[in-house]
Protein backbone atom coordinates (compact mmCIF):
# COMPACT_ATOMS: atom_id res chain seq x y z
CA UNK A 1 0.00 0.00 0.00
CA UNK A 2 1.36 3.35 -0.98
CA UNK A 3 2.62 5.14 2.08
CA UNK A 4 3.69 8.73 2.34
CA UNK A 5 5.39 10.19 5.40
CA UNK A 6 5.23 13.93 5.82
CA UNK A 7 8.52 14.13 7.64
CA UNK A 8 10.20 16.69 9.85
CA UNK A 9 13.79 16.44 11.07
CA UNK A 10 14.22 15.03 14.54
CA UNK A 11 14.17 17.13 17.66
CA UNK A 12 17.99 17.07 17.76
CA UNK A 13 17.92 19.66 14.97
CA UNK A 14 15.56 21.74 17.10
CA UNK A 15 18.43 22.17 19.55
CA UNK A 16 21.42 22.13 17.20
CA UNK A 17 19.98 24.24 14.38
CA UNK A 18 18.94 27.19 16.51
CA UNK A 19 15.17 26.83 16.11
CA UNK A 20 13.10 29.40 17.99
CA UNK A 21 12.64 27.82 21.45
CA UNK A 22 8.97 28.88 21.39
CA UNK A 23 8.33 26.58 18.41
CA UNK A 24 7.72 23.11 19.76
CA UNK A 25 8.60 20.43 17.17
CA UNK A 26 6.16 17.68 16.37
CA UNK A 27 6.80 14.45 18.18
CA UNK A 28 6.96 11.41 15.84
CA UNK A 29 3.42 10.22 16.59
CA UNK A 30 2.01 13.66 15.68
CA UNK A 31 3.60 13.76 12.21
CA UNK A 32 0.87 13.26 9.58
CA UNK A 33 1.15 9.93 7.78
CA UNK A 34 -0.99 9.30 4.69
CA UNK A 35 -1.92 5.91 3.26
CA UNK A 36 -4.01 5.31 0.15
CA UNK A 37 -7.07 3.17 0.89
CA UNK A 38 -8.72 1.28 -1.97
CA UNK A 39 -12.28 -0.07 -1.98
CA UNK A 40 -14.65 -1.40 -4.62
CA UNK A 41 -18.40 -2.03 -4.89
CA UNK A 42 -20.25 -3.70 -7.74
CA UNK A 43 -23.63 -4.93 -8.86
CA UNK A 44 -24.34 -7.37 -11.69
CA UNK A 45 -22.33 -10.44 -12.77
CA UNK A 46 -19.51 -8.37 -14.36
CA UNK A 47 -18.31 -11.41 -16.31
CA UNK A 48 -18.76 -10.40 -19.92
CA UNK A 49 -20.18 -7.82 -22.29
CA UNK A 50 -23.54 -9.59 -22.37
CA UNK A 51 -24.03 -9.21 -18.62
CA UNK A 52 -24.79 -5.72 -17.33
CA UNK A 53 -22.41 -4.58 -14.62
CA UNK A 54 -21.80 -1.43 -12.60
CA UNK A 55 -18.64 -1.00 -10.50
CA UNK A 56 -17.75 1.91 -8.22
CA UNK A 57 -14.16 2.12 -7.00
CA UNK A 58 -12.33 4.45 -4.65
CA UNK A 59 -8.64 5.06 -3.96
CA UNK A 60 -8.59 7.77 -1.30
CA UNK A 61 -6.09 9.23 1.16
CA UNK A 62 -6.47 8.14 4.76
CA UNK A 63 -4.63 9.75 7.64
CA UNK A 64 -3.01 7.10 9.83
CA UNK A 65 -0.58 9.25 11.81
CA UNK A 66 -0.94 12.70 13.34
CA UNK A 67 -2.79 14.18 16.27
CA UNK A 68 -6.11 12.51 17.14
CA UNK A 69 -7.92 15.65 15.99
CA UNK A 70 -6.03 15.62 12.66
CA UNK A 71 -6.98 12.00 12.03
CA UNK A 72 -10.67 12.43 12.84
CA UNK A 73 -11.16 15.68 10.92
CA UNK A 74 -9.10 14.81 7.84
CA UNK A 75 -10.66 11.40 7.30
CA UNK A 76 -14.13 12.86 7.83
CA UNK A 77 -13.36 15.56 5.24
CA UNK A 78 -12.21 13.00 2.66
CA UNK A 79 -15.35 10.94 3.23
CA UNK A 80 -17.46 14.08 2.73
CA UNK A 81 -15.64 14.84 -0.53
CA UNK A 82 -16.37 11.31 -1.76
CA UNK A 83 -20.06 11.85 -0.93
CA UNK A 84 -20.06 15.12 -2.88
CA UNK A 85 -18.53 13.33 -5.87
CA UNK A 86 -21.17 10.58 -5.78
CA UNK A 87 -24.00 13.05 -5.32
CA UNK A 88 -23.32 14.40 -8.82
CA UNK A 89 -24.67 11.10 -10.18
CA UNK A 90 -27.80 10.84 -8.05
CA UNK A 91 -31.18 12.54 -8.29
CA UNK A 92 -33.17 13.67 -5.27
CA UNK A 93 -30.78 12.08 -2.78
CA UNK A 94 -31.40 13.15 0.82
CA UNK A 95 -28.94 15.73 2.07
CA UNK A 96 -28.00 13.36 4.88
CA UNK A 97 -27.24 10.40 2.59
CA UNK A 98 -23.98 8.59 3.35
CA UNK A 99 -21.53 7.22 0.81
CA UNK A 100 -22.96 3.72 1.25
CA UNK A 101 -26.54 4.96 0.84
CA UNK A 102 -25.66 6.82 -2.36
CA UNK A 103 -23.99 3.70 -3.76
CA UNK A 104 -27.14 1.69 -3.01
CA UNK A 105 -29.25 4.33 -4.77
CA UNK A 106 -27.02 4.26 -7.85
CA UNK A 107 -27.07 0.46 -7.99
CA UNK A 108 -30.86 0.40 -7.65
CA UNK A 109 -31.16 2.87 -10.51
CA UNK A 110 -28.76 0.81 -12.66
CA UNK A 111 -30.51 -2.51 -11.98
CA UNK A 112 -33.91 -1.00 -12.75
CA UNK A 113 -32.57 0.42 -16.01
CA UNK A 114 -30.73 -2.76 -17.08
CA UNK A 115 -33.79 -4.94 -16.43
CA UNK A 116 -35.69 -2.85 -18.96
CA UNK A 117 -33.12 -3.43 -21.72
CA UNK A 118 -34.38 -6.11 -24.13
CA UNK A 119 -30.99 -6.90 -25.66
CA UNK A 120 -28.20 -6.75 -23.11
CA UNK A 121 -25.56 -7.80 -25.66
CA UNK A 122 -24.98 -4.15 -26.50
CA UNK A 123 -25.19 -2.95 -22.92
CA UNK A 124 -21.90 -1.38 -21.84
CA UNK A 125 -20.51 -1.73 -18.35
CA UNK A 126 -21.03 1.31 -16.15
CA UNK A 127 -18.28 2.58 -13.91
CA UNK A 128 -17.45 5.36 -11.47
CA UNK A 129 -13.84 5.68 -10.34
CA UNK A 130 -12.77 8.22 -7.74
CA UNK A 131 -9.00 8.24 -7.41
CA UNK A 132 -6.86 10.60 -5.35
CA UNK A 133 -3.28 11.70 -5.99
CA UNK A 134 -1.00 13.65 -3.69
CA UNK A 135 0.18 16.93 -5.21
CA UNK A 136 2.09 18.43 -2.28
CA UNK A 137 2.72 17.45 1.31
CA UNK A 138 4.25 18.98 4.39
CA UNK A 139 3.66 18.66 8.10
CA UNK A 140 1.25 21.62 7.92
CA UNK A 141 -0.59 21.03 4.67
CA UNK A 142 -1.67 18.45 2.11
CA UNK A 143 -2.71 19.25 -1.46
CA UNK A 144 -4.39 16.43 -3.34
CA UNK A 145 -6.61 15.78 -6.32
CA UNK A 146 -9.73 13.73 -6.89
CA UNK A 147 -9.89 12.30 -10.40
CA UNK A 148 -13.53 11.41 -11.02
CA UNK A 149 -14.04 9.12 -14.01
CA UNK A 150 -17.52 8.01 -14.94
CA UNK A 151 -19.38 6.17 -17.64
CA UNK A 152 -23.09 5.74 -16.93
CA UNK A 153 -24.34 5.40 -20.49
CA UNK A 154 -24.41 8.26 -22.94
CA UNK A 155 -22.13 9.21 -25.79
CA UNK A 156 -18.83 9.18 -23.92
CA UNK A 157 -17.22 8.84 -20.48
CA UNK A 158 -16.39 11.91 -18.44
CA UNK A 159 -13.32 12.74 -16.37
CA UNK A 160 -13.15 15.65 -13.97
CA UNK A 161 -10.28 16.54 -11.63
CA UNK A 162 -10.85 18.51 -8.45
CA UNK A 163 -8.04 19.90 -6.30
CA UNK A 164 -8.20 20.23 -2.52
CA UNK A 165 -5.82 21.80 0.00
CA UNK A 166 -6.05 20.72 3.61
CA UNK A 167 -4.49 22.50 6.59
CA UNK A 168 -3.38 20.29 9.46
CA UNK A 169 -3.14 23.45 11.56
CA UNK A 170 -6.81 24.38 11.29
CA UNK A 171 -8.16 20.98 10.15
CA UNK A 172 -10.05 22.67 7.34
CA UNK A 173 -9.95 22.86 3.57
CA UNK A 174 -8.24 26.01 2.39
CA UNK A 175 -9.88 28.49 0.04
CA UNK A 176 -8.01 30.74 -2.34
CA UNK A 177 -8.49 33.61 0.10
CA UNK A 178 -6.46 31.60 2.64
CA UNK A 179 -3.52 31.41 0.22
CA UNK A 180 -3.30 34.98 -1.12
CA UNK A 181 -4.31 38.34 0.28
CA UNK A 182 -5.35 39.88 -3.06
CA UNK A 183 -7.32 37.66 -5.44
CA UNK A 184 -7.77 40.52 -7.93
CA UNK A 185 -4.00 40.86 -8.33
CA UNK A 186 -3.70 37.08 -8.61
CA UNK A 187 -6.38 37.05 -11.32
CA UNK A 188 -4.44 39.62 -13.35
CA UNK A 189 -1.30 37.48 -13.24
CA UNK A 190 -3.32 34.35 -14.06
CA UNK A 191 -5.03 35.98 -17.04
CA UNK A 192 -1.70 37.01 -18.52
CA UNK A 193 -0.42 33.43 -18.20
CA UNK A 194 -3.69 32.03 -19.61
CA UNK A 195 -3.60 34.31 -22.65
CA UNK A 196 0.02 33.46 -23.38
CA UNK A 197 -0.57 29.73 -22.94
CA UNK A 198 -3.65 29.65 -25.19
CA UNK A 199 -2.44 32.30 -27.65
CA UNK A 200 -5.07 34.94 -26.97
CA UNK A 201 -3.69 38.43 -27.53
CA UNK A 202 -4.04 41.06 -24.82
CA UNK A 203 -7.30 42.91 -25.37
CA UNK A 204 -8.70 40.17 -27.61
CA UNK A 205 -12.05 38.71 -26.57
CA UNK A 206 -11.51 35.25 -25.07
CA UNK A 207 -14.69 34.16 -26.85
CA UNK A 208 -12.78 34.47 -30.14
CA UNK A 209 -10.92 31.31 -29.11
CA UNK A 210 -14.10 29.56 -27.99
CA UNK A 211 -13.85 30.24 -24.24
CA UNK A 212 -16.94 30.84 -22.13
CA UNK A 213 -15.86 33.78 -19.96
CA UNK A 214 -19.05 35.85 -20.16
CA UNK A 215 -17.90 38.54 -17.73
CA UNK A 216 -14.17 38.41 -18.39
CA UNK A 217 -11.47 36.05 -17.19
CA UNK A 218 -12.02 34.56 -13.75
CA UNK A 219 -10.35 32.14 -11.41
CA UNK A 220 -12.19 29.29 -9.70
CA UNK A 221 -11.60 27.50 -6.40
CA UNK A 222 -10.22 24.41 -8.14
CA UNK A 223 -6.58 24.99 -7.29
CA UNK A 224 -3.60 23.19 -5.79
CA UNK A 225 -0.56 24.45 -3.97
CA UNK A 226 2.66 22.72 -5.10
CA UNK A 227 5.23 24.70 -3.16
CA UNK A 228 6.57 26.32 -6.34
CA UNK A 229 3.29 26.98 -8.18
CA UNK A 230 -0.42 27.48 -7.70
CA UNK A 231 -2.23 25.30 -10.23
CA UNK A 232 -5.71 26.16 -11.47
CA UNK A 233 -7.80 23.67 -13.41
CA UNK A 234 -10.93 24.17 -15.48
CA UNK A 235 -12.75 20.93 -16.23
CA UNK A 236 -14.63 20.13 -19.47
CA UNK A 237 -17.76 22.25 -19.95
CA UNK A 238 -16.55 24.81 -17.38
CA UNK A 239 -15.08 27.42 -19.71
CA UNK A 240 -15.61 25.72 -23.06
CA UNK A 241 -17.36 22.85 -24.83
CA UNK A 242 -16.47 19.21 -24.17
CA UNK A 243 -14.43 19.07 -27.37
CA UNK A 244 -12.01 21.66 -25.95
CA UNK A 245 -11.24 19.41 -23.00
CA UNK A 246 -9.82 20.67 -19.73
CA UNK A 247 -7.51 23.62 -19.18
CA UNK A 248 -4.84 24.11 -16.56
CA UNK A 249 -2.47 26.95 -15.76
CA UNK A 250 0.46 27.11 -13.35
CA UNK A 251 1.23 30.38 -11.60
CA UNK A 252 4.80 30.58 -10.26
CA UNK A 253 4.86 31.41 -6.57
CA UNK A 254 7.68 33.84 -7.31
CA UNK A 255 5.30 35.89 -9.48
CA UNK A 256 2.85 36.44 -6.61
CA UNK A 257 5.11 36.29 -3.56
CA UNK A 258 4.08 39.81 -2.48
CA UNK A 259 0.46 38.70 -1.92
CA UNK A 260 1.07 35.24 -0.43
CA UNK A 261 -0.41 34.44 2.96
CA UNK A 262 0.79 30.87 3.19
CA UNK A 263 4.50 30.12 3.28
CA UNK A 264 4.11 26.36 2.92
The per-residue pLDDT for range 65-116, each reduced to its tens digit, is 999 999 999 999 999 999 999 998 887 889 899 999 999 999 998 888 887 7
- What integer pLDDT is reported at residue 92 of this predicted model? 83
Percent of the chain residues topping a pLDDT of 70:
82
**Domains in the chain: ranges and CATH:** 1-174 (3.30.565.40), 176-264 (3.90.640.20)
If pLDDT is split at 50, 70 and 90, which confidence band does 120 have? low
If pLDDT is split at 50, 70 and 90, which confidence band does 152 have? confident
Residue 185 has pLDDT above 60, yes or no: yes
- What integer pLDDT is reported at residue 9 of this predicted model? 34
Q: Rounded CA gap, 61 and 42, in Å?
A: 21
- What integer pLDDT is reported at residue 12 of this predicted model? 33
Report the chain's mean pLDDT, rounded to a whole number: 86
**Between 9 and 86, the higher pLDDT residue:** 86
**Between 118 and 65, the higher pLDDT residue:** 65
Task: Give the 3-state DSSP-derived string for the chain, with helices as H, strands as E and coil as C.
Answer: CCEEECCCCCHHHHHHCCCCCCCCCCCHHHCCEEEEEEEEEEECCCCCCCCCCEEEEEEEEEEEECCHHHHHHHHHHHHHHHHHHHHCCCCCCCCCCCHHHHHHHHHHHHHHHHHCCCCHHHCCCEEEEEEEEEEEECCCEEEEEEEEEEECCCCCCEEEEEEEEEECCCCEECCHHHHECCHHHHHHHHHHHHHHHCCCCCCCCHHHHCCCCCCCCCCCCCEEECCCEEEEEECCCCCCCHHHCCEEEEEEHHHHHHHECCCC
- What integer pLDDT is reported at residue 10 of this predicted model? 35
* Mean pLDDT for the stretch of residues 165-178: 96
Residue 205 has pLDDT above 80, yes or no: yes
- What integer pLDDT is reported at residue 263 of this predicted model? 64
If pLDDT is split at 50, 70 and 90, which confidence band does 8 have? very low
- What integer pLDDT is reported at residue 153 of this predicted model? 78
pLDDT in tens, 37-51: 999 999 987 766 666
- What integer pLDDT is reported at residue 15 of this predicted model? 31
pTM assigned to the model: 0.84
Residue 11 has pLDDT above 50, yes or no: no
Amino acid sequence: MKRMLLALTASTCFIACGTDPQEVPLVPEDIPVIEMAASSFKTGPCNGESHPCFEITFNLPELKGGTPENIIQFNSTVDSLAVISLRDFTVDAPASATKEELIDMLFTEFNTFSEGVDDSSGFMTWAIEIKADIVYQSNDMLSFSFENYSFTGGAHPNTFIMYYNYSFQTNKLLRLEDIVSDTIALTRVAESIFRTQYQVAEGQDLADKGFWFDDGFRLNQNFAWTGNHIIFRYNPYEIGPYAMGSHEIRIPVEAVKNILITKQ
